Amino acid sequence: DDVDDAKDEL
Amino acid sequence: MNIFRLAGDMTHLASVLVLLLKIHTIKSCAGVSLKTQELYALVFACRYLDIFTNFVSLYNTVMKLIFLGSSFSIVWYMRYHKVVRRSYDKDQDTFRHYFLVLPCLVLALLINEKFTFKEVMWTFSLYLEAVAILPQLVLLQRTRNIDNLTGQYVFLLGAYRGLYILNWIYRYFTEPHFVHWITWISGLVQTLLYADFFYYYYQSWKNNQKLHLPA
């Protein structure tokens, strides 16, 4: 889901 | 990964390495705020809870370990290293950083993308990172003259945030559903806090004089 695509950032 | 984010991460890495280098080589932390360093250690501890459960890439994991390791070792040096701790200016570094932690925690409980422990801790780390530089900026104003390593440290931190904003703009236009208001707003607030520092840093660089901030 889209939430995790911000988690690829440090 | 885009060039803005890579440049941002490298600038962020450079900022912590500049600080570690300063503390490790000249065995002094004069002008450095321990409160800000403690806040950063807390930021990374809360943000990287999923370091072993949510594998993104080798780069991501290595950088997380470097940021965790460097922030905690800077705090260790400033608190416990027998030589370094003597140069810590504790009666100037008086910002009540606990007053930053609690509101960020409450805000993270109220405004988040998912009400789960990890998500709330991650959001808390975003809000806390936005204000973590405040004790350092206050200390710089108090100590007036800034030695150039500390000035470079704050400058690199500000540059990393600015590059991250470019990264979000790039991702917004290239990835259809990449919209993260919480990340964007807290990142913007954080970058704005550096604005006046940048102004005085630029002025001192342009006039080739010692950097000092107005009281």
In angstroms, the separation between the Cα of residue A1 and the nearest Cα of chain B is: 10
B215 belongs to a structural domain: no
B146 belongs to a structural domain: yes
B54 belongs to a structural domain: yes
B214 belongs to a structural domain: no
Residue A2 confidence (pLDDT): 47
Residue B163 confidence (pLDDT): 97
Residue A3 above 60 pLDDT?
no
Asked whether B108 and B127 are in contact (CB, 8 A), the reply is yes
B183 touches chain A (CB under 8 A): yes
Per-residue pLDDT of chain B (215 residues; tens, 9 = 90+): 999 999 999 999 999 999 998 899 999 999 999 999 999 999 999 999 999 988 999 999 999 999 999 999 999 999 999 999 999 989 999 999 989 999 999 999 999 999 999 999 999 999 999 999 999 999 988 887 678 788 899 999 999 999 999 999 999 999 988 899 999 999 999 999 998 888 888 888 888 777 777 76
Q: Which residue of B has its CA nearest to A7?
A: B56
* Number of domains chain B contains: 1
Q: What is the CA radius of gyration of chain B?
A: 17
Q: Which residue of B has its CA nearest to A3?
A: B113
Residue A1 confidence (pLDDT): 43
B45 belongs to a structural domain: yes
B213 belongs to a structural domain: no
CB atoms within 10 A of CB B121: 18
Q: Which residue of A has its CA nearest to B164?
A: A9
B212 belongs to a structural domain: no
In angstroms, the separation between the Cα of residue A10 and the nearest Cα of chain B is: 7
Domain that residue B18 falls in: 3-207
B113 belongs to a structural domain: yes
Name residue, tokens 């250690």: B41
